[in-house]
Amino acid sequence: MRSSRRTRISKMEKAMLDIYVFSYNRPQFLDNCLTSISRHAPGARVRVFDDNSSDPRVAEILKKKAESDSIEVILHDGNVFGLHGGLYCNMQRAYEHGLTNDVDIALFIQDDMQLVRDVTNSDLCNIRGYFAETPDAIQIYVSFLKAINHDKTVDQLHISRRCVAYLNNTSSKWAAFFCDVGIFHFGRMKNLQWKFEPGEGENNAKAQIDRLCLGYYAYPFMMYLPYPTTEYYRVKPLLLRVAEWWVGSGFYPYDPMSPADVQRLFQRELTELPEAEAYLAPRGLDKPEPWLFGGALIDLIQTGGVQGWIAGKLGRIIKTTNDCKAELAHLAELLPFSAKPASNVDRKG
């Protein structure tokens, strides 16, 4: 990866950005996410798509935030079955909402993420410049990279001409073409007649077929929280609870980046990838680097060894069990009699 010029830091301005937040059943995470948006993007227009959270604290937080921060709350309006529940349905609804309201570009963020520094008009200028120089892009990833994937990302990325993004080496076996989060270009999606499929893998395959480019912003401003709890299920399986205890899943929000760390991010040579561990400080986390972000079972699998093998087996057991429950619930919806049981399976946590 070649070296490149540095970008100057801009003073905080109110960046006029449309932000769509996707939430389900994690009130503490959602509150942290929305608070970070209020702190670091005070001029943003914020809409929250909640996937029928059963935890009453979510509704309380949304009511409070709607009153104090003028966010718009849009509830999920139907039953969707499968591991990710209504997430991709809500992403499609957010996209259609944006088209109806003349939104050009918008940030998609999930409740287990947060903004970690101020989002400025200079950031948006950089991102629009990326789209201008990359006509086959509908998205740019604006989160920090994960140190655990360092060897893969070094192999697959190169620096864009404007030096504001890393671009995929599409010949790399690790190349990605789509991500659930980031800034999306609605106009280009409309031109492609884009429709979100019910899974990240399906959307990645679709983007690859369409030969789309996924860029990674060189100066990221948001990130997933490490070691998050998982809320795939309305009733969390005992095996998953054990896995979360084993890996130490919890709530570890980031402190806002210090001015010195923001300066270091912008003034580094771009051969240094922007990895979370080098810039961010999660409160209460007492674990060695690299951090893990995928939820308990995925985290255990990534650690490898015997515990990784066991986690893989547990994951398959849980998925098979809940796929059966979801199918039974779906069949019950089709019956003309009796009470309809609620789905035990919901969206990605």
Segment 99-144, tens digit of pLDDT: 999 999 999 999 999 999 999 999 999 999 999 999 999 999 999 9
Q: What is the structure's pLDDT at 317?
A: 52
Residues 269-309 have pLDDT tens digits of 999 999 999 999 999 999 989 998 876 566 555 555 555 45
User: Taking the complete model, does pTM exceed 0.85, yes or no?
Assistant: no
CATH number for region 18-224: 3.90.550.10
Indicate the DSSP class of residue 10: P
Confidence of residue 69 (pLDDT cuts 50, 70, 90): confident
Q: Tell me, what DSSP letter sits at residue 149? A: G
Please provide residue 248's backbone torsions phi and psi, each rounded to the nearest 5 degrees. Answer: 85, 35
Which residues on neighbouring strands pair with residue 107, listed in sequence order? 19, 183
Dist. CA 243–CA 186, nearest whole Å: 39
| pLDDT tens figures, 29-56 | 999 999 999 999 998 999 999 998 989 9
Residue with tokens 């760390």: 261
Q: Are 123 and 221 in contact (CB under 8 A)?
A: yes
